[in-house]
Amino acid sequence: MNIIKTKILSISLLASFSLLSAQVTTKDTSKTKAETQQTVSADAAKKAAAEEKARLPKPYNAEEDAEKKIAELVLQAKAENKKIILQAGGNWCIWCLRFNEFVHSTPELNKILADSYIYYHLNYSPENKNEKVFEKYDNPGAKYGYPVFIVLDADGKMIHTQDSAVLEEGKGYSADKVKEFLQKYAGNS
């Protein structure tokens, strides 16, 4: 009788161990599947971002003398009675490229820009950091990241620095928030 009880107990323990082992394996497999799905999702997101970045216009010119260009824009702003918006960033920055595309493809925002501003893409990149120009405007990229917007009056005096993060909505920008920002500083120079 003891041998039968021992065999039954052994079989029960073996069955319990097998069941527990199967549950652990299932959890490990589920975890591995979840990790694999996350990796695939991250890779897909990177690929989509790279494709989006490739198709967007590249408005920044790393070879341009930004200090000289801004001086020319100040003369133009005075003549046209407009403000200047410097969109600081680079062609490496997808959010910079998205903003540029967004304001130019949104008729109402594009009109505000055309009517009230001279719009310039101030390059910041490994090839040309425009350090002297950025120092003049208190290095806003170091504080806010990119893009960052520097609003100048018609005399070239900085009147506002705008963090772009507050203009974002989802994976893009809010038309209402951008419109509010543009209209706030669009008044006569």
At 145-168, the pLDDT tens digits run 999 999 999 999 999 999 999 999
Which one-letter amino acid corresponds to residue 54? Answer: A
| Three-state SS at 24 | helix
**According to the model, what pLDDT value does residue 118 have?**
98
Identify the helix (H) or strand (E) that includes residue 55. helix 2-55
Q: Which range among 26-30, 61-65, 91-95, 123-127 shows the weakest confidence by mean pLDDT? A: 26-30
Residue 20 has pLDDT above 50, yes or no: no
DSSP summary character for residue 81 = T
The CA distance from 83 to 110, in Å, is: 15
**According to the model, what pLDDT value does residue 28 have?**
55
The number of angstroms, rounded, from the C-alpha of 159 to the middle of its chain's C-alpha atoms is 24
Assess whether the previous peptide bond of 147 is cis (omega < 30° from 0): yes
The CA distance from 38 to 97, in Å, is: 27
Domain ranges of the chain: 1-55, 66-184
CATH of 66-184 given 3.40.30.10, 3.10.129.10, 3.40.50.970, 3.30.360.10: 3.40.30.10
pTM listed for this prediction: 0.79
Tell me the average pLDDT across 121-138. 97
